[in-house]
């Protein structure tokens, strides 16, 4: 595979670029193919959640990685890292990765990543990056406050920077990905609670302490146990005290 960006299929409106890219990947298009859209009518987040962005103001990108090998085990972390680097090359912002798949600027969600894969054949890397969305244009029911790149950056400029950073990070050795994640980890040292980790009844809150070599989130539970949480199984809540005590907002 020789980078991401060609061939490119662009839609003015589509349901979901990930959906289109999955169909193309299943039909055997070459790795490196990308799908972009000005607007999505059914943009997907994880677990049936929605991704929404006003037309033309976000990068809506799905990039096909093929073939997909064991060396790509940290792909879910390499992608948000690549987005951070791309954004920082375009605007004076400091980006952090909020495990497992968000890019944050000052505690606000700038980008989300949705990877859908059929190993060993392909992975579709879906990226939604807010480029020039005004604060009052975001949906009002977001789980986390959102923000945009701003600074006059265009969606095409963002596309170019993201594709070039992706090419580098997708093939980066695991130790570099882990080191870079550590430098950008938005959760380390923070109190979190989680639901959904099978077999770990009783431990559902603690302090985030980085990731393990498979990209799972390491937490030290309130009971003092060190646990690894898989991204597929848990839902996180941040800053427990603030949520449990409505007086602290
Ligand atoms: C994600 O899911 O963050 C992955 C989003 C991936 C979107 C891209 S766009 C191109 C490609 N094609 C697709 O169909 N999808 C990918 P998750 O962690 O589940 O977060 C979803 C949540 O983010 C929603 O429930 C909202 O609360 C919030 N959200 C929705 N739109 C947002 C936006 N523009 N900016 C910030 N947050 C948003």
Dump pLDDT digits (tens) for 123-166: 999 999 999 999 999 988 888 899 999 999 999 999 999 999 99
* Unique residue bearing structure tokens 């309130």: 222
Q: Which residues, 6+ apart, have CB-to-CB distance to 153 below 8 Å?
A: 90, 91, 131, 132
Which of 51, 113, 141, when mutated, tests ligand 1's pocket best, judged by the most ligand atoms within 8 Å of its CB?
51
pLDDT for 68 beyond 60: yes
Ligand 1, closest atom to CA 44?
A: 14
Sign of the dihedral defined by the CA atoms of residues 146, 8, 155, 88, in that order: positive
Q: Are 189 and 208 in contact (CB under 8 A)?
A: yes
Q: Name residues contacting ligand 1 (CB within 6 A).
A: 16-18, 40, 43-46, 49-53, 60-62, 101-102, 109, 112-114, 126-128, 130, 142-143, 146
Mean pLDDT estimate for the chain: 91
What proportion of the chain, given as a percentage, has pLDDT over 90? Answer: 81
Q: Which atom of ligand 1 is nearest to the CA of 142?
A: 27
Query: Which residues are registered as beta bridge partners of 224?
Result: none
Distance separating alpha carbons of residues 46 and 41, to the nearest angstrom: 16
Provide the phi-psi class of 56: left if phi over 0, else alpha when psi is between -120 and 50, else beta. Answer: left
pLDDT beyond 60 at 200:
no
What CA–CA distance (Å, rounded) separates 139 from 95?
22
Token pair, residue 136, equals 């009052």
Cβ within 8 Å of residue 145, ≥6 positions away = 107, 108, 109
Q: Judging by beta carbons within 10 Å of its beta carbon (0-12, 13-18, 19+), is residue 209 exposed, middle or buried?
A: middle
* Residue 63: strand, helix, or coil: strand
| Predicted local confidence at residue 194, as pLDDT | 87
User: Considering the entire predicted model, what is its pTM?
Assistant: 0.94
β-sheet with 226-229: strand ranges across: 226-229, 217-221, 205-211, 191-195, 235-238
* Structure token digits, residue 68: 């997909």
- C-alpha distances (whole Å) from 174 to each of 101, 136, 150 are 17, 39, 32
- Nearest CA owner, ligand 1 atom 29: 51
Six token digits for residue 110: 């700038």
Q: Quick one: pLDDT at residue 201?
A: 61
pLDDT for residue 94 is more than 80: yes
């Amino acid at each position: 595979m020789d980078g991401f960006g060609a061939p490119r299929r662009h839609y003015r409106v589509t349901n979901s670029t990930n959906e289109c890219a999955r169909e193309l990947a299943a039909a055997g298009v070459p790795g490196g193919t990308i799908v972009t859209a000005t607007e999505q009518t059914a943009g997907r987040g994880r677990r049936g959640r929605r991704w929404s962005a006003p037309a033309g103001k976000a990068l809506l990108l799905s990039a096909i990685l093929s073939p997909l090998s064991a060396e790509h085990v940290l792909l879910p972390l390499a992608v948000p890292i690549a987005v951070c680097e791309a954004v920082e090359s375009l605007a004076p912002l400091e980006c952090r990765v909020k495990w497992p798949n968000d890019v944050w600027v000052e505690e606000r969600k700038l980008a989300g990543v949705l990877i859908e894969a059929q190993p060993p054949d392909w992975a579709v890397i879906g990226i939604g990056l807010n480029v020039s969305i005004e604060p009052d244009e975001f949906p009002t029911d977001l789980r986390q406050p959102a923000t945009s790149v701003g600074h006059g950056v265009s969606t095409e400029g963002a596309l170019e920077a993201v594709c070039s950073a992706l090419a580098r990070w997708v093939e980066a050795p695991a130790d570099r990905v882990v080191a870079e994640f550590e430098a950008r980890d938005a959760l380390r040292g923070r109190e979190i609670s989680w639901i959904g980790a099978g077999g770990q009844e009783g431990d559902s809150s603690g302090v985030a302490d980085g990731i393990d070599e498979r990209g799972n989130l390491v937490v030290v539970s309130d009971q003092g146990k060190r646990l690894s949480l898989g991204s597929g199984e848990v839902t996180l809540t941040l800053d427990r005290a603030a949520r449990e005590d409505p007086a602290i907002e």
